[in-house]
Structure 1
Protein backbone atom coordinates (compact mmCIF):
# COMPACT_ATOMS: atom_id res chain seq x y z
CA UNK A 1 0.00 0.00 0.00
CA UNK A 2 1.40 3.39 -0.97
CA UNK A 3 1.85 6.10 1.64
CA UNK A 4 0.90 9.71 0.98
CA UNK A 5 3.78 12.10 0.37
CA UNK A 6 2.87 13.93 3.57
CA UNK A 7 3.95 10.91 5.62
CA UNK A 8 6.66 9.53 3.35
CA UNK A 9 9.39 10.55 5.81
CA UNK A 10 9.72 8.08 8.68
CA UNK A 11 9.89 10.82 11.29
CA UNK A 12 6.64 12.43 10.13
CA UNK A 13 4.95 9.05 9.92
CA UNK A 14 6.11 8.03 13.40
CA UNK A 15 4.73 11.23 14.93
CA UNK A 16 1.36 10.79 13.20
CA UNK A 17 1.20 7.17 14.34
CA UNK A 18 1.93 8.34 17.88
CA UNK A 19 -0.91 10.89 17.71
CA UNK A 20 -3.36 8.25 16.52
CA UNK A 21 -2.25 5.67 19.07
CA UNK A 22 -2.75 8.22 21.85
CA UNK A 23 -6.26 8.85 20.55
CA UNK A 24 -7.08 5.16 20.15
CA UNK A 25 -5.73 4.04 23.55
CA UNK A 26 -5.82 7.07 25.86
CA UNK A 27 -5.97 5.00 29.05
CA UNK A 28 -3.33 2.45 28.05
CA UNK A 29 -0.94 1.50 30.82
CA UNK A 30 1.19 -1.41 31.92
CA UNK A 31 -1.05 -4.46 32.27
CA UNK A 32 1.11 -6.17 34.89
CA UNK A 33 -0.17 -5.94 38.45
CA UNK A 34 2.32 -4.67 41.04
CA UNK A 35 2.59 -2.34 44.02
CA UNK A 36 6.31 -1.61 44.23
CA UNK A 37 9.24 -1.32 41.80
CA UNK A 38 10.63 -4.68 42.93
CA UNK A 39 7.28 -6.35 42.28
CA UNK A 40 7.23 -4.72 38.84
CA UNK A 41 10.75 -6.01 38.20
CA UNK A 42 9.77 -9.54 39.19
CA UNK A 43 6.54 -9.45 37.15
CA UNK A 44 8.43 -8.21 34.09
CA UNK A 45 11.02 -10.98 34.40
CA UNK A 46 8.16 -13.49 34.61
CA UNK A 47 6.49 -12.00 31.52
CA UNK A 48 9.26 -13.23 29.19
CA UNK A 49 7.72 -15.77 26.81
CA UNK A 50 4.51 -15.54 28.84
CA UNK A 51 1.33 -13.48 28.74
CA UNK A 52 0.71 -10.69 31.22
CA UNK A 53 -2.59 -12.37 32.04
CA UNK A 54 -0.81 -15.51 33.19
CA UNK A 55 1.75 -13.51 35.18
CA UNK A 56 -1.08 -11.67 36.94
CA UNK A 57 -2.54 -15.03 37.97
CA UNK A 58 0.78 -16.07 39.52
CA UNK A 59 1.97 -12.93 41.29
CA UNK A 60 -0.72 -12.55 44.01
CA UNK A 61 0.42 -15.76 45.73
CA UNK A 62 4.07 -15.02 44.96
CA UNK A 63 3.99 -11.53 46.47
CA UNK A 64 1.90 -12.63 49.42
CA UNK A 65 4.67 -15.12 50.27
CA UNK A 66 7.63 -12.93 49.23
CA UNK A 67 6.54 -9.27 49.18
CA UNK A 68 9.88 -7.47 48.87
CA UNK A 69 13.52 -7.79 47.84
CA UNK A 70 14.83 -9.17 51.18
CA UNK A 71 12.14 -11.85 51.23
CA UNK A 72 12.80 -12.85 47.61
CA UNK A 73 16.56 -12.80 48.17
CA UNK A 74 16.17 -15.38 50.92
CA UNK A 75 13.47 -17.46 49.26
CA UNK A 76 13.81 -21.21 49.02
CA UNK A 77 14.56 -21.85 45.37
CA UNK A 78 12.32 -24.90 45.04
CA UNK A 79 9.39 -23.03 46.57
CA UNK A 80 10.03 -20.08 44.27
CA UNK A 81 10.14 -22.41 41.25
CA UNK A 82 6.81 -23.95 42.29
CA UNK A 83 5.16 -20.53 42.60
CA UNK A 84 6.27 -19.36 39.13
CA UNK A 85 6.13 -22.71 37.33
CA UNK A 86 3.16 -21.89 35.10
CA UNK A 87 4.92 -18.88 33.52
CA UNK A 88 7.36 -21.15 31.68
CA UNK A 89 11.16 -21.36 31.91
CA UNK A 90 10.47 -21.32 35.63
CA UNK A 91 13.86 -22.59 36.78
CA UNK A 92 15.79 -19.80 35.05
CA UNK A 93 13.21 -17.21 36.11
CA UNK A 94 13.29 -18.31 39.75
CA UNK A 95 17.10 -18.27 39.84
CA UNK A 96 17.26 -14.84 38.20
CA UNK A 97 14.62 -13.37 40.50
CA UNK A 98 16.37 -14.57 43.64
CA UNK A 99 19.82 -13.53 42.39
CA UNK A 100 18.57 -10.11 41.26
CA UNK A 101 16.98 -9.49 44.65
CA UNK A 102 20.13 -10.63 46.42
CA UNK A 103 22.08 -8.03 44.45
CA UNK A 104 19.43 -5.39 45.18
CA UNK A 105 19.79 -6.09 48.90
CA UNK A 106 23.60 -6.32 48.89
CA UNK A 107 24.46 -3.46 46.54
CA UNK A 108 21.44 -1.15 46.38
CA UNK A 109 20.13 -1.05 49.96
CA UNK A 110 17.10 -3.14 49.11
CA UNK A 111 15.80 -0.66 46.52
CA UNK A 112 15.51 -1.29 42.78
CA UNK A 113 18.08 1.06 41.22
CA UNK A 114 16.97 4.02 39.10
CA UNK A 115 19.92 3.98 36.70
CA UNK A 116 19.93 1.92 33.50
CA UNK A 117 23.52 0.82 33.97
CA UNK A 118 22.73 -0.46 37.46
CA UNK A 119 19.61 -2.30 36.37
CA UNK A 120 21.49 -4.05 33.58
CA UNK A 121 23.80 -5.59 36.18
CA UNK A 122 20.90 -7.52 37.72
CA UNK A 123 20.57 -11.16 36.65
CA UNK A 124 17.77 -11.68 34.15
CA UNK A 125 17.49 -7.98 33.29
CA UNK A 126 18.09 -6.69 29.77
CA UNK A 127 17.05 -3.34 28.29
CA UNK A 128 13.41 -4.32 27.75
CA UNK A 129 12.90 -5.13 31.43
CA UNK A 130 14.95 -2.14 32.55
CA UNK A 131 12.92 0.23 30.36
CA UNK A 132 9.65 -1.10 31.80
CA UNK A 133 10.85 -0.75 35.39
CA UNK A 134 12.22 2.76 34.89
CA UNK A 135 9.16 4.02 33.01
CA UNK A 136 6.38 2.48 35.08
CA UNK A 137 8.17 2.16 38.41
CA UNK A 138 9.85 5.56 38.46
CA UNK A 139 8.44 7.62 35.57
CA UNK A 140 11.84 7.74 33.84
CA UNK A 141 12.01 7.36 30.05
CA UNK A 142 15.47 6.04 29.26
CA UNK A 143 14.58 4.09 26.14
CA UNK A 144 11.87 2.45 24.06
CA UNK A 145 10.63 -0.92 25.28
CA UNK A 146 10.90 -3.34 22.34
CA UNK A 147 8.90 -6.51 22.86
CA UNK A 148 7.54 -8.81 20.15
CA UNK A 149 4.58 -6.50 19.40
CA UNK A 150 6.69 -3.36 19.16
CA UNK A 151 9.22 -5.16 16.97
CA UNK A 152 6.58 -6.56 14.61
CA UNK A 153 4.55 -3.37 14.26
CA UNK A 154 7.54 -1.06 13.90
CA UNK A 155 8.75 -3.25 11.04
CA UNK A 156 5.33 -3.45 9.39
CA UNK A 157 4.90 0.31 9.66
CA UNK A 158 8.16 0.77 7.79
CA UNK A 159 9.92 2.52 10.67
CA UNK A 160 12.79 0.03 10.83
CA UNK A 161 14.20 -2.83 8.84
CA UNK A 162 16.31 -4.04 11.73
CA UNK A 163 15.72 -7.33 13.55
CA UNK A 164 17.86 -6.82 16.65
CA UNK A 165 15.78 -5.23 19.45
CA UNK A 166 18.61 -2.91 20.50
CA UNK A 167 19.01 -1.52 16.98
CA UNK A 168 15.23 -1.16 16.64
CA UNK A 169 15.18 0.74 19.94
CA UNK A 170 17.93 3.07 18.78
CA UNK A 171 16.06 3.89 15.58
CA UNK A 172 12.79 4.53 17.41
CA UNK A 173 14.52 6.76 19.95
CA UNK A 174 15.64 9.00 17.07
CA UNK A 175 12.13 9.13 15.58
CA UNK A 176 10.10 9.85 18.72
CA UNK A 177 10.17 12.53 21.45
CA UNK A 178 11.70 11.19 24.67
CA UNK A 179 8.62 11.94 26.84
CA UNK A 180 6.63 9.61 24.56
CA UNK A 181 9.04 6.70 24.35
CA UNK A 182 7.07 4.51 26.76
CA UNK A 183 3.72 5.85 25.51
CA UNK A 184 4.69 4.59 22.08
CA UNK A 185 5.57 1.12 23.32
CA UNK A 186 2.59 0.54 25.58
CA UNK A 187 0.07 1.77 22.99
CA UNK A 188 1.69 -0.16 20.16
CA UNK A 189 1.46 -3.26 22.34
CA UNK A 190 -2.28 -2.63 22.79
CA UNK A 191 -2.67 -2.20 19.03
CA UNK A 192 -0.68 -5.35 18.35
CA UNK A 193 -2.96 -7.35 20.62
CA UNK A 194 -6.24 -5.85 19.40
CA UNK A 195 -5.71 -5.24 15.67
CA UNK A 196 -2.26 -5.89 14.18
CA UNK A 197 -1.89 -9.47 15.33
CA UNK A 198 1.00 -11.64 14.22
CA UNK A 199 -0.88 -14.07 11.99
CA UNK A 200 -4.00 -12.24 10.88
CA UNK A 201 -3.62 -8.46 11.06
CA UNK A 202 -7.01 -6.75 10.67
CA UNK A 203 -5.84 -4.19 8.09
CA UNK A 204 -9.43 -3.52 6.98
CA UNK A 205 -10.25 -1.98 10.37
CA UNK A 206 -6.85 -0.57 11.27
CA UNK A 207 -6.74 3.19 11.75
CA UNK A 208 -3.06 3.17 10.87
CA UNK A 209 -3.53 1.43 7.53
CA UNK A 210 -2.99 4.55 5.43
CA UNK A 211 0.37 5.00 7.17
CA UNK A 212 1.45 1.38 6.81
CA UNK A 213 3.32 0.13 3.75
CA UNK A 214 2.50 -3.44 4.79
CA UNK A 215 -1.27 -2.93 5.00
CA UNK A 216 -3.47 -4.97 2.71
CA UNK A 217 -6.65 -2.97 2.33
CA UNK A 218 -8.58 -3.31 -0.91
CA UNK A 219 -10.66 -0.40 -2.13
CA UNK A 220 -14.35 -0.99 -1.75
CA UNK A 221 -16.33 -0.74 -5.01
CA UNK A 222 -18.34 2.48 -5.33
CA UNK A 223 -21.95 2.35 -4.26
CA UNK A 224 -24.21 2.46 -7.38
CA UNK A 225 -25.56 5.92 -8.06
CA UNK A 226 -22.82 7.76 -6.17
CA UNK A 227 -20.21 10.08 -7.62
CA UNK A 228 -16.61 9.41 -6.71
CA UNK A 229 -14.49 12.47 -6.02
Structure 2
Protein backbone atom coordinates (compact mmCIF):
# COMPACT_ATOMS: atom_id res chain seq x y z
CA UNK A 1 0.00 0.00 0.00
CA UNK A 2 1.49 3.41 -0.96
CA UNK A 3 2.90 5.51 1.89
CA UNK A 4 2.19 9.27 1.55
CA UNK A 5 4.57 11.97 2.74
CA UNK A 6 4.98 15.75 2.83
CA UNK A 7 8.36 17.44 2.42
CA UNK A 8 9.17 21.09 3.09
CA UNK A 9 12.44 22.36 1.62
CA UNK A 10 14.11 25.29 3.40
CA UNK A 11 17.15 27.44 2.74
CA UNK A 12 20.08 26.07 4.74
CA UNK A 13 21.19 29.53 5.88
CA UNK A 14 17.99 31.56 6.30
CA UNK A 15 15.64 28.63 7.08
CA UNK A 16 13.12 30.28 4.76
CA UNK A 17 10.91 27.79 2.87
CA UNK A 18 12.05 27.40 -0.74
CA UNK A 19 8.65 26.38 -2.10
CA UNK A 20 5.27 25.06 -1.15
CA UNK A 21 5.37 21.70 0.62
CA UNK A 22 6.00 18.77 -1.71
CA UNK A 23 3.52 15.94 -1.39
CA UNK A 24 3.95 12.48 -2.77
CA UNK A 25 3.92 8.83 -1.87
CA UNK A 26 6.30 5.90 -1.75
CA UNK A 27 5.27 2.65 -3.36
CA UNK A 28 5.68 -0.58 -1.42
CA UNK A 29 8.86 -1.30 -3.39
CA UNK A 30 10.21 2.21 -2.71
CA UNK A 31 9.53 1.78 0.99
CA UNK A 32 11.35 -1.55 1.10
CA UNK A 33 14.40 -0.07 -0.68
CA UNK A 34 14.56 2.94 1.63
CA UNK A 35 14.01 0.78 4.71
CA UNK A 36 16.89 -1.50 3.71
CA UNK A 37 19.10 1.49 2.91
CA UNK A 38 18.51 2.98 6.35
CA UNK A 39 19.20 -0.34 8.10
CA UNK A 40 22.47 -0.69 6.18
CA UNK A 41 23.38 2.93 6.96
CA UNK A 42 22.83 2.29 10.67
CA UNK A 43 25.35 -0.55 10.51
CA UNK A 44 27.81 1.64 8.62
CA UNK A 45 27.60 4.28 11.37
CA UNK A 46 28.69 1.65 13.89
CA UNK A 47 32.00 0.89 12.16
CA UNK A 48 35.10 1.92 14.06
CA UNK A 49 36.34 4.41 11.47
CA UNK A 50 32.98 6.19 11.31
CA UNK A 51 32.44 6.17 15.06
CA UNK A 52 35.86 7.76 15.55
CA UNK A 53 34.32 10.84 13.84
CA UNK A 54 35.73 10.34 10.35
CA UNK A 55 36.00 7.35 7.98
CA UNK A 56 39.75 7.62 7.86
CA UNK A 57 42.38 10.19 8.82
CA UNK A 58 44.78 9.34 6.03
CA UNK A 59 47.25 12.05 5.09
CA UNK A 60 49.56 12.21 2.08
CA UNK A 61 52.41 14.71 1.81
CA UNK A 62 54.53 15.31 -1.28
CA UNK A 63 58.14 16.16 -0.41
CA UNK A 64 60.55 18.33 -2.33
CA UNK A 65 62.45 15.37 -3.78
CA UNK A 66 59.32 14.01 -5.50
CA UNK A 67 58.81 11.40 -2.80
CA UNK A 68 55.65 10.98 -0.81
CA UNK A 69 54.91 10.13 2.80
CA UNK A 70 51.64 8.52 3.88
CA UNK A 71 50.31 8.55 7.45
CA UNK A 72 47.10 7.57 9.17
CA UNK A 73 46.20 4.52 7.11
CA UNK A 74 43.63 2.32 8.87
CA UNK A 75 44.52 -1.10 10.15
CA UNK A 76 43.56 -4.11 8.05
CA UNK A 77 40.75 -4.89 10.50
CA UNK A 78 39.38 -1.34 10.37
CA UNK A 79 39.51 -1.26 6.58
CA UNK A 80 37.85 -4.67 6.28
CA UNK A 81 35.02 -3.55 8.56
CA UNK A 82 34.48 -0.35 6.58
CA UNK A 83 34.53 -2.15 3.22
CA UNK A 84 32.14 -4.82 4.48
CA UNK A 85 29.61 -2.22 5.60
CA UNK A 86 30.03 -0.11 2.45
CA UNK A 87 29.42 -3.13 0.25
CA UNK A 88 25.58 -2.80 0.09
CA UNK A 89 25.95 0.77 -1.18
CA UNK A 90 28.62 0.32 -3.85
CA UNK A 91 27.85 -3.03 -5.49
CA UNK A 92 25.59 -2.65 -8.50
CA UNK A 93 23.57 -5.80 -7.85
CA UNK A 94 22.54 -4.76 -4.33
CA UNK A 95 18.85 -3.94 -4.13
CA UNK A 96 19.25 -0.84 -1.94
CA UNK A 97 22.57 0.58 -3.10
CA UNK A 98 23.32 4.30 -3.12
CA UNK A 99 22.25 4.87 -6.74
CA UNK A 100 18.92 3.05 -6.34
CA UNK A 101 17.99 4.82 -3.11
CA UNK A 102 18.85 8.18 -4.64
CA UNK A 103 16.76 7.32 -7.68
CA UNK A 104 13.71 6.59 -5.52
CA UNK A 105 13.80 10.17 -4.27
CA UNK A 106 15.00 11.77 -7.49
CA UNK A 107 12.28 10.36 -9.71
CA UNK A 108 9.58 11.36 -7.22
CA UNK A 109 10.73 14.92 -6.63
CA UNK A 110 11.30 17.28 -9.59
CA UNK A 111 12.03 20.29 -7.36
CA UNK A 112 15.24 22.02 -8.60
CA UNK A 113 16.69 22.43 -5.10
CA UNK A 114 16.30 18.74 -4.36
CA UNK A 115 17.70 17.75 -7.74
CA UNK A 116 20.73 19.96 -7.07
CA UNK A 117 21.19 18.38 -3.64
CA UNK A 118 21.02 14.85 -5.04
CA UNK A 119 23.43 15.80 -7.84
CA UNK A 120 25.92 17.06 -5.25
CA UNK A 121 25.65 13.79 -3.32
CA UNK A 122 26.17 11.75 -6.49
CA UNK A 123 29.26 13.77 -7.42
CA UNK A 124 30.71 13.17 -3.98
CA UNK A 125 29.89 9.47 -4.07
CA UNK A 126 31.41 9.09 -7.55
CA UNK A 127 34.54 11.01 -6.55
CA UNK A 128 33.99 14.00 -8.84
CA UNK A 129 34.31 16.50 -6.00
CA UNK A 130 37.47 14.80 -4.76
CA UNK A 131 39.07 15.07 -8.20
CA UNK A 132 38.17 18.76 -8.30
CA UNK A 133 40.44 19.18 -5.27
CA UNK A 134 43.28 17.02 -6.54
CA UNK A 135 44.06 14.23 -8.98
CA UNK A 136 46.56 11.54 -8.12
CA UNK A 137 48.07 10.76 -11.52
CA UNK A 138 50.47 8.03 -12.54
CA UNK A 139 51.92 7.35 -15.97
CA UNK A 140 54.74 8.03 -18.39
CA UNK A 141 53.50 11.19 -20.01
CA UNK A 142 51.17 14.14 -19.51
CA UNK A 143 47.57 13.36 -18.56
CA UNK A 144 45.21 16.22 -19.41
CA UNK A 145 48.19 18.55 -19.47
CA UNK A 146 49.53 17.46 -16.07
CA UNK A 147 52.88 15.68 -15.85
CA UNK A 148 52.44 12.70 -13.48
CA UNK A 149 54.97 10.48 -11.79
CA UNK A 150 56.52 7.99 -14.22
CA UNK A 151 55.41 4.83 -12.49
CA UNK A 152 53.34 2.84 -14.95
CA UNK A 153 53.00 2.17 -18.65
CA UNK A 154 50.16 4.62 -19.30
CA UNK A 155 48.66 7.56 -17.47
CA UNK A 156 45.73 7.08 -15.12
CA UNK A 157 43.89 8.83 -12.29
CA UNK A 158 44.30 6.67 -9.20
CA UNK A 159 41.70 8.45 -7.06
CA UNK A 160 38.91 7.44 -9.42
CA UNK A 161 36.05 4.97 -9.35
CA UNK A 162 37.77 2.96 -12.09
CA UNK A 163 40.83 2.28 -9.96
CA UNK A 164 38.78 1.81 -6.81
CA UNK A 165 36.60 -0.83 -8.49
CA UNK A 166 39.66 -2.62 -9.85
CA UNK A 167 41.05 -2.81 -6.33
CA UNK A 168 37.76 -3.83 -4.70
CA UNK A 169 36.89 -6.48 -7.27
CA UNK A 170 40.44 -7.68 -7.70
CA UNK A 171 41.47 -7.94 -4.06
CA UNK A 172 38.75 -7.08 -1.54
CA UNK A 173 35.16 -7.95 -2.49
CA UNK A 174 36.21 -10.50 -5.10
CA UNK A 175 39.39 -12.07 -6.46
CA UNK A 176 39.01 -11.49 -10.19
CA UNK A 177 42.32 -12.36 -11.91
CA UNK A 178 41.67 -10.10 -14.91
CA UNK A 179 41.13 -7.11 -12.64
CA UNK A 180 44.22 -7.94 -10.62
CA UNK A 181 46.30 -7.99 -13.80
CA UNK A 182 44.84 -4.70 -15.01
CA UNK A 183 45.41 -3.08 -11.64
CA UNK A 184 49.02 -4.27 -11.49
CA UNK A 185 49.62 -3.22 -15.09
CA UNK A 186 48.39 0.29 -14.32
CA UNK A 187 50.06 0.90 -10.99
CA UNK A 188 52.05 -2.17 -10.05
CA UNK A 189 55.21 -0.12 -9.55
CA UNK A 190 53.50 2.30 -7.17
CA UNK A 191 54.13 1.81 -3.44
CA UNK A 192 50.98 0.14 -2.16
CA UNK A 193 50.58 2.61 0.71
CA UNK A 194 50.26 5.40 -1.84
CA UNK A 195 47.52 3.53 -3.70
CA UNK A 196 45.72 2.71 -0.44
CA UNK A 197 45.86 6.36 0.58
CA UNK A 198 44.24 7.40 -2.70
CA UNK A 199 41.53 4.78 -2.20
CA UNK A 200 40.91 5.92 1.38
CA UNK A 201 40.20 9.43 0.11
CA UNK A 202 37.63 7.92 -2.27
CA UNK A 203 36.09 5.81 0.50
CA UNK A 204 35.85 8.81 2.82
CA UNK A 205 33.76 10.73 0.28
CA UNK A 206 31.59 7.70 -0.49
CA UNK A 207 30.90 7.15 3.19
CA UNK A 208 29.97 10.78 3.78
CA UNK A 209 27.62 10.80 0.78
CA UNK A 210 25.96 7.55 1.89
CA UNK A 211 25.33 8.82 5.41
CA UNK A 212 24.15 12.25 4.32
CA UNK A 213 21.58 10.66 2.02
CA UNK A 214 20.56 8.42 4.91
CA UNK A 215 19.98 11.49 7.08
CA UNK A 216 17.67 12.98 4.44
CA UNK A 217 15.85 9.69 3.87
CA UNK A 218 15.42 9.26 7.61
CA UNK A 219 13.54 12.55 7.79
CA UNK A 220 11.37 11.72 4.77
CA UNK A 221 10.44 8.24 5.93
CA UNK A 222 9.74 9.40 9.48
CA UNK A 223 7.38 12.06 8.14
CA UNK A 224 5.70 9.44 5.97
CA UNK A 225 5.39 7.04 8.91
CA UNK A 226 3.82 9.69 11.15
CA UNK A 227 1.39 10.76 8.44
CA UNK A 228 0.41 7.15 7.88
CA UNK A 229 -0.12 6.61 11.60
CA UNK A 230 -2.39 9.65 11.71
CA UNK A 231 -4.49 8.22 8.89
CA UNK A 232 -4.79 4.63 10.01
CA UNK A 233 -2.83 1.51 11.03
CA UNK A 234 0.86 2.26 11.72
CA UNK A 235 3.49 1.55 9.11
CA UNK A 236 6.68 -0.19 10.23
CA UNK A 237 9.47 2.33 10.61
CA UNK A 238 12.67 1.70 8.62
Same fold (TM over 0.5): no
What TM-score bracket applies, with the shorter chain setting the length?
under 0.3
Q: TM-score, normalised by structure 1?
A: 0.26
